[in-house]
Structure 1
Amino acid sequence: MQSPLFAHTEVQTAEPFALQNDKLLRVRLDGGRDVLARKGAMVAYQGRIEFDAEYRPRGGNRRRTREALDLMRCSGDGTVFLANLAQDVHVVDVGREGLTVDSGYVLALDPTLHWEVISVDSQYGISGTGKYNLLITGQGQVALMTSGKPLTLQVTPERYVSVDSDAVVAWSTALTVQMQAQTSSSGVWRRRGSTGEGWELNFAGTGFAVVQPSELLPPQDARLGGGVRGQFGMDRPTHGNIFSN
């Protein structure tokens, strides 16, 4: 049997996190190294791999953290392939500066990393770009997802950056962040007049902000049989949008 299909063979690398392709993450496990992955993200595996669906992080508010990032622990010897509805996957090395990310865009992360749930307070006292955001610190890697190819904007003291709160994926933790809507307080829940724009995040300091070319909710809550809204997890409350509160 012959076909160009058979050219898409497994990437051979010793790296623990590697991209099999733009939409598929390859994670190498060697018995002493585990990975924390979003529940339901496994599409294939090789070797002797165990999946612990009852994984709970150490410390912190268990209920809030579980809602923010529902994980399974993958352990053993072999290779695990992770994906989520053909979203683009990006591997990020988390350094000393830390990373703040909307939990809806996390595919997998090293268990050596530390994370906690935080909120971004707006001038109107409303929290978050989504219901939850994660502050990730430590040494390790995290795999993020975007709907399409992202844009990374550099922020400097001389160059402020403003982004749509529904499009932002992650940003440098060192940045100063303010959330606001360019509308009157009486119309705070409306999209910005007739422009279709709503809340925005304003970044200042030194670092970067990552946005995706989509304002759709991340589709990790997709369900079959729910039409277009169900496909993108929009037929029930989600964790990815301030308007779901």
Structure 2
Amino acid sequence: MQSALFSHSEAQSQERYVVQNPQMLRVSLTGQDDVLARKGSMVAYQGLIDFDGEYQSTNQRTSRARTGEGLDLMRCSGQGTVYFANLAQDVHVLDVDQDGLTVDSSYVLALDSTLHTEAIAVDSQYGISGSGKYQLNITGRGKVALMTSGQPLLLRITPDKYVNVDADAIVAWSTSLRVQMQAQTHSTGVWRRRGNTGEGWELSFLGQGFALVQPSELLPPQNAQLGQGVAAQYGMGQQGAHAQNQNNAWN
């Protein structure tokens, strides 16, 4: 049998994490170090691999209930090769070193089990819980695979070059950066977006590091009605757009 499909055969590499194609991750397991992956993200595997739900401590469950940030993970162990994907989103592999990585948990596909995760708060000039209020801090040494909706933009930040990013488009940034959430509005009501521009919360980064931005926003099209009340339309609360729009259904 002949087909152009045979050009998409599995990648051959000695690396632990390999981007098989732009939307699929290949992870090699040797029986020594486990990998933690997003629940339900396995699309194929070879060898003797076990999949188990990852235990969450009481502190982790409490933190997730309070902040909304956390990971639903499965532990993959054994010897062989596992392929992961999620809604055909683009996959990117990063090395986490002592500087750490801050990320929106909804963009994590897989990570080494040796890494540590913790929910952290992002400062707001207004003290209001909104978009980007909490994020996930990943520390230690290891690899993490992130997902984006479309090809991302990597912005390098230096002491003489600060960057502002839409809070609904940010994926991850260097933990060493100083970050503050702000609402760019000229009205006295920070709940109202900038006139009729459709722009709302943004994150301001200063220091030395990088910020990863995707060409998609978490919120649905402006004026779309989701849930109930003003807070829901602006993505807040259990009935808000953030709760209704898991995995970037609106692009």
- Pick the TM interval, shorter chain: 0.7 to 0.9
Residues 177, 209 of structure 2: 8 Å contact kept: yes
1:64 counterpart SS class = helix
Q: Is residue 73 from structure 1 mapped to residue 72 from structure 2 by the alignment? A: no
CA distance in 1: counterparts of 2:244 and 2:7, whole angstroms: 41
Residues 112, 144 of structure 2: 8 Å contact kept: yes
1:196 counterpart SS class = coil
- Cα deviation for residue 130 of structure 1 reads 3.7
Structural mapping, 1:1-245, within 5 Å: 1-53=1-53, 55-57=54-56, 60-65=59-64, 68-127=70-129, 129-130=131-132, 132-183=134-185, 186-216=188-218, 236-237=243-244
Q: What are the superposed Cα offsets for residues 119-148 of structure 1, whole Å, 9 maximum, x if unpaired?
A: 212111124644641111111000000011
Change (3 A) 1:234 1:10: farther
- Cα deviation for residue 57 of structure 1 reads 4.3
Residues 45, 80 of structure 2: 8 Å contact kept: yes
CA distance in 1: counterparts of 2:176 and 2:131, whole angstroms: 17
Q: What are the superposed Cα offsets for residues 4-41 of structure 1, whole Å, 9 maximum, x if unpaired?
A: 00111111112111110111000111111210000011
- Cα deviation for residue 159 of structure 1 reads 0.7
Opposite residue 124 of structure 1, the aligned amino acid is Y
Taking only aligned residues, the RMSD between alpha carbons, in angstroms, comes to: 2.4
Aligned length: 226
CA distance in 2: counterparts of 1:145 and 1:173, whole angstroms: 18
- Cα deviation for residue 185 of structure 1 reads 6.7
Q: What are the superposed Cα offsets for residues 163-204 of structure 1, whole Å, 9 maximum, x if unpaired?
A: 000100011111110100112574322222111111000001
Deviates more, 1:41-50 or 1:182-191: 182-191
Residues 101, 175 of structure 2: 8 Å contact kept: yes
Change (3 A) 1:94 1:217: farther
1:117 counterpart SS class = strand
Residues 155, 205 of structure 1: 8 Å contact kept: yes
Opposite residue 62 of structure 1, the aligned amino acid is R
**Runs of at least 5 residues in structure 2 that lack an aligned partner in the other structure:** 221-239
**Percent of aligned positions with the same letter in both sequences?**
66
CA distance in 1: counterparts of 2:210 and 2:64, whole angstroms: 25
CA distance in 2: counterparts of 1:32 and 1:74, whole angstroms: 11
- Cα deviation for residue 50 of structure 1 reads 1.0
**Runs of at least 5 residues in structure 1 that lack an aligned partner in the other structure:** 219-232
